A and B are shown apart, each in its own frame.
Chain A
Amino acid sequence: MINQQPILKADDLSKRYEDGVLAVDHLNLNIPGGEVYCLLGANGAGKTTTINLFLNFIPPTTGTCFINGIDVTREPLEAKKYVSFVSENVMLYGNFTARQNLDFFAKLGGKTKLGKEDYYQVMRRVSLQEKAFEQRVKNFSKGMRQKLGISIAVIKDAPGILLDEPTSGLDPKAAEEFLEILDELKKEGKAILMSTHDIFRAKEIGDRVGIMKEGRLVMERTREELQYEDLVKIYIDYMKSEPLKI
């Protein structure tokens, strides 16, 4: 169910930090609803910077990001209504229960009229154990926190989802469960941008896979194209290649 109108869009996006490092170099991305776009790349390739630019945590040097057609730089608060975010390490308020955390972030996301059962339903959907619903989050494993993180994204029900290496450090079962939820969200028509190091999972979940190197998107393949190509080899070849001349 791919909606061709891009929900997440980067238009000639660049970011040069104050120390001169060019973290993102003229990046163009168009992610329509119902598509998962996986950004691969080594550490420092610019994946997280790209997500930070989408979230307006840092201003772009050139270009701009659009979420649901809204310029993030000009109208950040309006744009962020249409996007959810799950980080590598979902950190929540340890002294609050899973439901209390979900309630707090749901309200931040504009969902003010939800009841306890709504929260339970979302937590069930992301396969969080029932007994954990009313437990303090400080005792949660990373997998449980990631599930709670995605439940925050689910409950916000935004058309765009940004995931910053969400499966990093998860055991295979937990990662698999996480990807299943992503697949469901994709089917609901969400546009998902996921940065990851995990080539195999990128190939498995991604409708498109892009490789970033030194801030540039150096390769992009669709799911269909990757059926005939070895993504691992492509990735390693790009990583081994000479530094880009900027």
Chain B
Amino acid sequence: MIFKIALKDFLTNLLSSRFVIGLLLCLVLIPFSILISVNNYQSRVAQYRIDREAADKAVKEVRVYSKLRPEVVFPPEPLSVFSMGISNQVGSHVKIWLGDKPMLAAGKAEAGDNPFLGAFFSVDFTEITAIVFSLLALIFSYDVLTREKEDGTLRLQMSNSLGRSTFLAGKVLGILLTLLPVLIFSFLLASIFIVFSSHISFTASEWGRIVLLFAISLLYLGVFVFIGLLVSSHSRTSVTSLVLCLFLWVGLVFLIPNLAANFAASFVRVQSRDNLDRVLADIDHELTERTHQAYKAAGIPESSSCWTCMEDSDGGFETYGNPRPGFEQFRRGAEISEPLRIEYADRRWTMQKAYLDSLSHQANVSEELSLVSPTGIFRAIASALCTTDLRSRENLMDRTRQYREAFIRYLEGKNIFSSFRWITPASPDSFYPSEDALIEKRTGGEFKSAHAFWTWAGQQKDQYAAFQKLFKVKLPGDGPEDFPYLDVSDMPRFPDRPPGLFSGLEGSVLNVGLLLVEVVLLFYLGYVAFLGFDVR
């Protein structure tokens, strides 16, 4: 009997204008959104390739380990074509520094030519499901009881030996039978676009996640069907029920999630970035002080002359053409400064983590508040399934920090901070024993000692011409061009780890449970309300 009622409702709905409109809506919106999402993904892939190429080139073109700073470039998540989540708002690459743990990714995610040009339509597949299917579910369920009552068919049906639970189950099944093909059609349409798109391909586990997304969409649909049922069983007329349902729809789909974000932004304070930068500057200053003290204690002069030096932040230092004592001084300096730099990165991280935690806390409060609405729950689960949620991003950044540790271990494994290779590709065997020997060689024997040269140079009016004496003889190893790039084939690489079917979904179990509870609770409340529904 349940199936008979369901089939009757299914056929009635199928012939209704609301079904045709719903189907047309999906037919227009789904391909449109998928097309835009695939284009967006394609643009992010293009940017990823540019960034990746630049990062690979930068790593390959270093001659000293102190300049070796790998850059992690995150590939765009293929599933983001279904749910963008936060992937468009966060950066796409992270440079690995010794003195700083990765905090936030840098760079833009898309390779657009015009940053001012924003697509006016940026609603993704999940958003369309959240908005359109909740509306469709309510449109088919708001009058599930009141319409039959108004049409007079309810009395005729209930005059038979037909239990209310049977009747209700039939009605619910009828709505689900109506909406299920539309939902399947939408997912199939999106999947066909993906399959036939040359710019994107999914792994088996990613397809598995789409199936999970479908199941969650079905649950979400169920929630709104039962909301419609509950409202219908408490309403006297279909018009009242429709108005109530529309109010609820606007509230649940738009108001609550937006209010949650606004509430979190207004009442949950994040730490000031300026304040963090000030604290970090203090730590950097302390590091500089401590490094100076350590140099002093070790008898390393604060400054020294250098034939060819290229220095950057984070201890990147490349030098050529010095006498052995010069190289030795720089080596000893690095031996002291680099472990200190790594140590202070941990201290910086304590502050950075507190800042990051405050950002995460604000986002989490927003998400948790939005869980009041089934739409909030659905969005949270969908973005987790598509690995575009905050937790997935945090996991990615955790992995990036772990990669930094692995990189440091790689350097330490080579005992590189104590090695000349940290600062120069030149072999220690090729170092000139003293500055005197070096100057004698450079000047072609004109000056026998450094003292002699500097004294003479000090007396010259044309300093430029005087220094040209030092370039009289070109020595091998005086500049970078004399050395090949480092072989870093043994350097650890950031592991690209595509998500497994269920990996990273632990946090979503509660949300799925919440959605299930809502389905069961709403059905129960609707059922209880229908038991007292006046069928006359």
Contact = CB atoms under 8 A, between A and B. Distances in A.
> A and B from one assembly?
yes
Given A93-B12, A96-B11, A55 B158 contact: yes
Interface in B501-536: 534-536
Given A77-B162, A89-B152, A90-B156, 11 more contacts: A57-B158, A57-B534, A57-B536, A58-B536, A77-B163, A87-B156, A91-B152, A95-B15, A105-B160, A107-B4, A108-B160
A29 B161 CA distance: 22
A104 B4 contact: yes
Bin the interface of chain A by size. Answer: 20 to 34
A108 B166 CA distance: 11
Interface residues of B, number: 21
Interface in B140-156: 151-153, 155-156
Interface in B9-44: 11-12, 15
A85 B160 CA distance: 8
A14 B8 CA distance: 37
A83 interface: yes
Nearest to A78: B161
A92 interface: yes
B152 A85 contact: no
Contacts of B1: 107-108
A91 B161 contact: no
B162 A108 contact: yes
B432 to A, nearest CB: 100
B159 A83 contact: yes
A110 B11 contact: no
B502 to A, nearest CB: 44
Contact of A108 (B151, B157, B534): B157
Contacts of B163: 77
A80 interface: yes
B173 to A, nearest CB: 15
Interface of B: 1, 4, 8, 11-12, 15, 151-153, 155-163, 534-536
B145 to A, nearest CB: 14
B156 A80 contact: no
Contacts of B4: 104, 107-108
A85 B155 CA distance: 9
Contacts of B534: 57-58
A194 interface: no
A150 to B, nearest CB: 12
Nearest to B167: A108
A81 interface: yes
Contacts of B156: 85, 87, 90-92, 105, 149, 152
22 contacts: A55-B158, A57-B155, A77-B161, A77-B163, A85-B155, A85-B156, A87-B155, A87-B156, A89-B152, A91-B151, A91-B152, A91-B156, A93-B8, A95-B12, A96-B8, A107-B1, A108-B4, A108-B160, A109-B160, A109-B161, A110-B161, A156-B160
A84 interface: yes
A52 interface: yes
A80 B4 CA distance: 19
A77 B4 CA distance: 18
Nearest to B159: A85
Contacts of A105: 156-157, 160
Given A95-B15, A107-B4, A108-B4, A87 B152 contact: yes
Interface in A66-121: 77-78, 80-81, 83-85, 87, 89-93, 95-96, 104-105, 107-110
B185 to A, nearest CB: 22
Chain B CB within 10 Å — which of A81, A89, A90, A93 has the most? Answer: A93
B159 A93 contact: no
Contacts of B12: 93, 95-96
Contacts of A156: 160
A77 B151 CA distance: 23
Chain A CB within 10 Å — which of B1, B8, B15 has the most? Answer: B8
A156 B157 CA distance: 12
A224 B301 CA distance: 134
Contacts of A152: 156
A181 B521 CA distance: 48
B3 to A, nearest CB: 10
Contacts of B15: 95
B153 A92 contact: yes
Given A58-B536, A93-B12, A108-B1, A84 B153 contact: no
Nearest to A108: B160
Contacts of A84: 159
A91 to B, nearest CB: 3
The 7 closest A-B pairs by CB, nearest first: A91-B152, A85-B159, A108-B160, A81-B161, A80-B161, A95-B15, A77-B161
B7 to A, nearest CB: 9
B353 to A, nearest CB: 63
Interface string A153-183: 0001000001000000000000000000000
A91 B163 CA distance: 21
B17 to A, nearest CB: 11
A104 B534 CA distance: 22
Nearest to B15: A95
Chain A CB within 10 Å — which of B4, B153, B159, B535 has the most? Answer: B159
Given A84-B159, A107-B1, A52 B536 contact: yes
Nearest to B536: A57
Contact of B153 (A58, A81, A93): A93
A29 B511 CA distance: 58
Contacts of A110: 160-161
